[in-house]
């Protein structure tokens, strides 16, 4: 008789415990293994077919697509977003996750679903601090996260590497090799994780050791410089440069328009008041930490390319010693991938709160997440809440030397595999991908084709801006 709570007390006639709902059946059960199931998917979709790309009929004009993606954003900030997208083809890709999902939806895929980052371009990986101040390397943007085909994240990463390489002046062989190496690292890492004990694979931390695992030694110096800068990138440092102390001892943000600006008192009060709801989304053991801080001010701050035009605030809190903690309260819009994931056979169920979607998606993909990650509602709109500047740092892939691009590609491909392995049995993808480089070649071919498509889209956007169809502000 077993005395363990929650486990049936009687064994079966064979002496085995019965299958428990929510758990895998015993290994001795009949049926194909996950690896065999993955390998069988090659019959449904040969790996070479992952190279295919063709522009779907009815694809929207670029000016129309950019206008549609701006719907619901703050009108005075939309020209800044358009100007940033018009800067380079890589920048255009960063702002057009929904358009790429439109292009991917008609393409064949294996049917294996994962928690997608949704915007896994090469610029959305970076360093951040954990609860003890140690640095972790991982995906760091989840605004578009949904459940969908694993190929979508991998192909977006590969295409972005080609575009980033072209921007650095790397030759075409180097750009294609970067896409090829990202797919290869993804494939090998998925296989490596599949071979580990499940708990070890689940807890595989994405830290500096990933550099050695992916043979990214040429990148080590760059990562160390980024890490050194990231260690200084804290709330206290941001507050020191962007706030002033008033005569009554309170602190206020200083205006630095258009990036940082004060907001009316009623708006600031609504944001500050929403933190009560935010607390309810955090584990109770975090409450005493925040209770030792007082809210001093709220300001509006523009965020990255894809999010420009959304409502985003920074909230200044100070502890009893006057040390700053800055929280970001950022509007969470519906994922741009949602309608296209449904078209690809992965319908997205109704979302109760878009901020919750972002936070839970992030936690499903990361081993180490921000300890103050939560969500709230401000004036009936959903927001995510997180620490601002918690030792964040990133590598600009469009500024890497050509001989570093393949190292960065391998590292990001490995990180993506580790993130996907939290929501799918890694043997399923590893079984499909196999040991050969056939998948790597196919993904590289797709990446080059899609990079060409993106360059043409970017040229169309530049023409629309020049013709006055789309207002754009450059250099902001």
E-strand stretches of 350-415: 374-378, 381-387
Distance separating alpha carbons of residues 176 and 455, to the nearest angstrom: 15
Average pLDDT, the chain: 91
User: Tell me, what's the pLDDT at 104?
Assistant: 98
Model confidence over 134-184: pLDDT tens digits?
888 899 999 999 999 999 999 999 999 999 999 999 999 999 999 999 999
What pLDDT score does 18 carry? 74
Cα–Cα distance list, 292 to 280, 313, 325, 459 (Å):
17, 21, 11, 52
Residue 191, pLDDT above cutoff 80: yes
Answer yes or no: is pLDDT of 213 > 80: no
Could you tell me which residues come within 8 angstroms of residue 260 by beta carbon, excluding any fewer than 6 positions away? 242, 253, 254, 299, 300, 301, 302, 314
Q: What is the mean pLDDT of residues 37-52?
A: 98
DSSP-derived secondary structure letter, 393: B
Give me the pLDDT at residue 206, please.
62
Residue in the block written with tokens 């109770």: 284
Backbone angles phi, psi at 418, to 5 degrees: -60, -40
| Residue 332 near residue 306 (C-beta atoms within 8 A) | no
- What's the chain's Rg over C-alpha atoms? 23
90 membership: H or E segment, kind and range: helix 89-94
Distance CA 100, CA 239 (A): 37
Closest CA to 460 of 203, 90, 205, 92: 92
In this prediction, residues 349-353 reach a mean pLDDT of 94
d(CA 59, CA 81): 22
Does residue 398 sit in helix, strand or coil?
Answer: helix
User: Does the pLDDT at position 249 exceed 60?
Assistant: yes
Task: Please give the pLDDT value at position 386.
Answer: 96
Taking CB atoms within 8 Å and a gap of at least 24, the contacts of 272-275 are: 272/298, 272/315, 274/329, 274/376, 274/377, 274/378, 274/383, 275/315, 275/327, 275/376, 275/385
> What is the predicted pLDDT for the residue at 136?
84
Q: Per the structure block, which two tokens stand in for 462?
A: 């530049």
Three-state secondary structure call for residue 364: helix
What was the pLDDT predicted at 28? 52
Say if residue 46's pLDDT is above 70.
Answer: yes
| pLDDT for 209 | 57
Quick one: what percent of the chain has pLDDT higher than 70? 93
Task: Write out pLDDT tens, residues 367-401.
Answer: 899 999 999 999 999 999 999 988 888 889 999 99
Q: 364 and 139 in contact (C-beta within 8 Å)? A: no
Query: Are the CB atoms for 104 and 118 separated by under 8 Å?
Result: no
Let me know: does 182 contact 157? Beta carbons within 8 Å: yes
- Would you say residue 29 has pLDDT above 60? no
Calpha distance 278→288 (Å, rounded): 14
Task: List pLDDT tens digits, range 447-460.
Answer: 999 999 999 999 99
Tell me the Ramachandran region of residue 309: left when phi exceeds 0, alpha when psi lies from -120 to 50, beta otherwise: left
Residue 63 predicted with pLDDT over 60? yes
Question: Any idea which of 124-133, 291-300, 347-356 has the lowest mean pLDDT?
Answer: 124-133
**Predicted pLDDT of residue 2:** 39
Distance of CA 313 to the CA centre of its chain: 20
* Residue 413 CB contacts under 8 Å (≥ 6 apart), including other chains: 154, 157, 181, 182, 183, 184, 185, 186, 189, 214
Q: Please write the tens of the pLDDT for every residue from 86-100.
A: 999 999 999 999 999
**CA 26 to CA 271: how far, in whole Å?**
51
Burial 125-148 (b: 16+ CB within 10 A, else e): bbbbbbeeeebbbbbbbbbbbbbb
Positive or negative: CA dihedral 221, 226, 232, 234: negative
pTM score of the predicted model: 0.93
pLDDT at 103: 98
**What integer pLDDT is reported at residue 230 of this predicted model?**
87
For the segment 74-88, the average pLDDT, to the nearest whole number, is 95
What is the per-residue pLDDT across 2-20, written as a single tens digit (0 to 9) for each? 344 455 556 555 566 777 7
Q: Which residue's entry shows tokens 């789309």?
A: 470
* Mean pLDDT in residue range 30-49: 92
Q: Read off the pLDDT band of 221 (50, 70, 90).
A: confident
Q: At what angle do helices 150-168 and 172-195 cross, to 10 degrees?
A: 150
């Amino acid at each position: 008789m077993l005395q363990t709570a929650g486990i049936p007390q009687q064994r079966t006639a064979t002496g085995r415990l019965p299958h428990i709902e929510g758990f895998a059946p015993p290994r001795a059960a009949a049926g194909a293994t996950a690896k065999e199931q993955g390998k069988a998917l090659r019959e449904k979709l040969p790996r070479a077919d992952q190279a295919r790309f063709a522009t779907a009929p009815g694809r929207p004009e670029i000016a129309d697509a950019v206008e549609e993606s701006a719907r619901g954003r703050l009108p005075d900030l939309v020209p800044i977003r358009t100007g940033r997208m018009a800067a380079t083809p890589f920048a255009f890709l960063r702002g057009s996750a929904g358009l790429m999902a439109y292009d991917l939806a008609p393409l064949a895929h294996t049917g294996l679903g994962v928690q997608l980052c949704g915007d896994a371009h090469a610029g959305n990986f970076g360093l951040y601090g954990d609860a003890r101040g140690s640095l972790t390397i991982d995906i760091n943007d989840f605004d578009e996260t949904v459940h969908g085909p694993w190929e979508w994240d991998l192909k977006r990463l590969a295409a972005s590497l080609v575009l980033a390489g072209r921007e650095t002046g790397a030759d075409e062989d180097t750009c294609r090799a970067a896409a090829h190496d990202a797919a290869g690292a993804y494939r090998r890492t998925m296989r490596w994780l599949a071979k580990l004990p499940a708990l070890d694979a689940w807890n595989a931390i994405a830290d500096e050791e990933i550099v050695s695992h992916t043979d990214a030694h040429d990148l080590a110096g760059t990562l160390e410089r980024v890490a050194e800068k990231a260690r200084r990138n804290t709330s206290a440092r941001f507050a020191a440069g962007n706030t002033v102390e008033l005569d009554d001892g309170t602190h206020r943000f200083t205006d630095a328009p258009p990036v940082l600006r004060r907001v009316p008192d009623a708006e600031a009060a609504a944001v500050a008041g929403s933190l009560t709801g935010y607390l309810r989304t955090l584990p109770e053991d975090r409450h005493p930490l925040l209770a030792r801080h007082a809210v001093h001010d709220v300001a509006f701050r523009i965020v990255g390319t894809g999010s420009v035009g959304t409502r985003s605030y920074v909230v200044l809190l100070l502890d009893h010693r006057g040390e700053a903690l800055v929280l970001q309260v950022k509007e969470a819009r519906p994922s741009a991938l949602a309608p296209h994931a449904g078209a690809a056979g992965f319908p997205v169920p109704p979302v109760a709160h878009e901020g919750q979607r972002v936070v839970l998606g992030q936690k499903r993909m990361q081993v180490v997440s921000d300890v103050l990650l939560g969500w709230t509602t401000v004036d009936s709109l959903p927001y995510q809440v997180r620490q601002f500047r918690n030792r964040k740092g990133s590598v600009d892939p469009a500024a890497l030397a050509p001989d570093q691009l393949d190292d960065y590609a391998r590292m990001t491909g490995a990180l993506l595999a580790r993130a996907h392995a939290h929501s799918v049995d890694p043997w399923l993808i590893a079984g499909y991908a196999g040991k050969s480089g056939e998948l790597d070649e196919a993904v590289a071919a797709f990446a080059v084709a899609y990079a060409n498509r993106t360059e043409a889209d970017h040229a169309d956007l530049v023409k629309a801006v020049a013709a006055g169809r789309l207002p754009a502000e450059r250099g902001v």
